[in-house]
């Protein structure tokens, strides 16, 4: 779970930062979309890198979900009777919502690809016209709401997932535990805020 989770975290970090190019104008973000497709063109062909990343992400999602199901099964086997009194202080809100958060994210990604990659659910939907597609998308408050919900679910997921992964690597002292907690929160917060800034900038007219 850790390795695939960290690989996907790297992807969303790069994706979030590159989305901020929208604040630099149409040419910046549209040019980036073309640059990405031409990257290593000579070696892998047009869109070659994009396809390598797509295949890598699908492998990560499948392995990540398989590991999650296996872990849940193992936990159930280890305690088949269930708890008479489930302790209230069992981890944070993020920890308790990992499973549903993961499902929401998976559904969001399917919608997101149909919206901004395939363009079939986008009011503009022109291939490589990223700026116009994004602006057209976030004119609708309910789309902003859905994206915001998904990105916040991603934030909770990252906070708990990163904390778990770092915890497994060993956090012996209380001070180190605190540091891991703060670090995971910080990373999740920055990624969530970065993603949220785009739809809200469009909705408020800052971009568009
Ligand atoms: C407000 C938030 C977001 C915005 C504005 C946004 C925007 C975009 C845009 C414009 C594209 C198409 C880029 C292109 O064709 O060159 C794209 C692709 C993609 N986004 Fe996002 N995104 C957001 C959040 C997310 C999140 C949270 C995830 C993952 C959890 C995600 C995963 C993806 C993936 C996997 C693709 C690539 C699909 C493909 O080309 O196969 N995005 N995004």
Residue 93: band (very low, low, confident or very high) from pLDDT cuts 50, 70, 90: low
Question: Distance (Å, rounded) from C-alpha 156 to C-alpha 102?
Answer: 10
Atom 18, ligand 1: residue with shortest CA distance: 117
Question: Distance (Å, rounded) from C-alpha 205 to C-alpha 199?
Answer: 10
Total number of domains constituting the chain: 1
Distances, alpha carbon 111 to alpha carbons 25, 91, 118, 127, in Å: 25, 30, 10, 16
Residue 195, domain extent: 2-82+89-203
Residue 57 maps to a domain: yes
Residue 166 maps to a domain: yes
Q: What is the mean pLDDT of residues 54-63?
A: 97
Give strand ranges (E) for 161-208. Answer: none
147-181 pLDDT per residue, tens: 999 999 999 999 999 998 998 887 678 888 899 99
CA of 180 to the centre of ligand 1 (A): 28
Contact between 4 and 60 under an 8 Å Cβ cutoff? The reply is yes
Residue 208 maps to a domain: no
Q: What is the mean pLDDT of residues 15-39?
A: 98
Residue 11 has pLDDT above 60, yes or no: yes
Residues within a 6 A CB radius of ligand 1: 12, 15, 19, 33, 54, 57, 105, 109, 112-113, 116-117, 130, 134, 147, 151, 154, 195, 198-199
| Sign of the alpha-carbon torsion through 106, 6, 191, 119 | negative
pLDDT of residue 195: 98
pTM: 0.92
Closest ligand 1 atom, residue 199 Cα: 1
Residue 161 maps to a domain: yes
Contact between 100 and 161 under an 8 Å Cβ cutoff? The reply is no
Question: Distance (Å, rounded) from C-alpha 77 to C-alpha 65?
Answer: 18
pLDDT of residue 171: 67
């Amino acid at each position: 779970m850790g390795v695939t989770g960290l690989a996907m975290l790297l992807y969303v970090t790069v994706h979030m930062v590159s989305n901020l190019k929208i604040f630099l104008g149409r040419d910046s973000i549209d040019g980036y979309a073309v640059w990405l497709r031409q990257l290593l063109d000579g070696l892998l062909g047009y869109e070659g890198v994009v396809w390598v990343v797509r295949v890598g992400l699908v492998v990560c999602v499948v392995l990540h979900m398989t590991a999650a199901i296996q872990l849940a099964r193992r936990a159930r086997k280890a305690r088949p009777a269930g708890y008479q009194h489930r302790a209230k202080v069992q981890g944070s809100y993020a920890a308790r919502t990992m499973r549903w958060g993961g499902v929401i994210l998976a559904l969001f990604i399917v919608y997101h690809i149909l919206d901004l990659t395939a363009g079939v659910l986008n009011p503009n939907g022109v291939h490589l016209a990223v700026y116009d597609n994004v602006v057209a998308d976030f004119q609708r408050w309910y789309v902003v709401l859905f994206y915001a919900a998904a990105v916040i679910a991603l934030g909770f997921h990252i906070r708990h997932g990163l904390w778990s992964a770092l915890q497994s690597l060993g956090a012996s002292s209380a001070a180190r535990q605190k540091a891991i907690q703060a670090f995971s929160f910080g990373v999740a917060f920055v990624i969530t805020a970065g993603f949220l800034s785009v739809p809200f900038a469009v909705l408020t007219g800052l971009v568009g």
